[in-house]
Amino acid sequence: MDRPKQGFEIPVDAWLRGPLREMSEAAVLQPGSARAGLTNQATARRLFRAHLAGVGRHGQVLWSLLALARWAGQYV
């Protein structure tokens, strides 16, 4: 209680490689989805594949794409 505030990071990278992999892959990379016209599909696919291979940390970008895909599925 006497120490200063300290931030924390949610394990997005691990989630997108593990329990959320199938859902995020389907939502982000599915051709013809509501989100497909909102972003560059080739770039999204490249980032997703690199993230799964452990090349770089693209979790935050992919998390944002997942949120956009879910939003677009609901409202677009």
pLDDT tens, position by position, 34-63: 566 788 888 989 999 999 999 988 999 999
First to last CA, the chain: 46
The per-residue pLDDT of the chain, averaged, comes to 87
Query: What number of other Cβ atoms are within 10 A of residue 6's Cβ?
Result: 5
Q: Which H or E run contains 47?
A: helix 41-53
Q: Is 57 helix (H, G, I), strand (E, B) or coil?
A: coil
**pTM (2 decimals)?**
0.81
